[in-house]
Structure 1
């Protein structure tokens, strides 16, 4: 059975792709690399924000109150 892609795999891929795009644009065009990476970094922040707050890693807000067994 093969690997199945999960939502957070796509989040990580999106962050990498946006930062790599910023580097490539800065390298291959007249746009400064610092500017292009910063602008594309804002897209990465938006992707991370969506992964954390819109489609968070919990099923319900009540799951946030569950005790963490590894720390007990």
Structure 2
């Protein structure tokens, strides 16, 4: 999920977007290369996956440790 204060609706970085028309917005980030993405590297539960070239978070696998939040270079990951 995006931190509203950091999301620019793709007008600045153009790398991230929220999935429209869903109850729970999912992370859909294209800022980092998947092979170098710190969120994927640090996640011990493999909660991040690649979908259509974007890094996506499977909240059902997330244990809420917040490690990914700390390493995200854009600061857009929010775990609730």
What range is the shorter-chain TM-score in?
under 0.3
TM-score, normalised on structure 1? 0.26
The structure whose residues are more often strand, as a share, is 2
TM-score, normalised on structure 2? 0.24
Based on CA coordinates, which of the two structures has the bigger radius of gyration? 1
The structure whose residues are more often helix, as a share, is 1
Bigger RCO (CA 8 Å, 6+ sep): 2
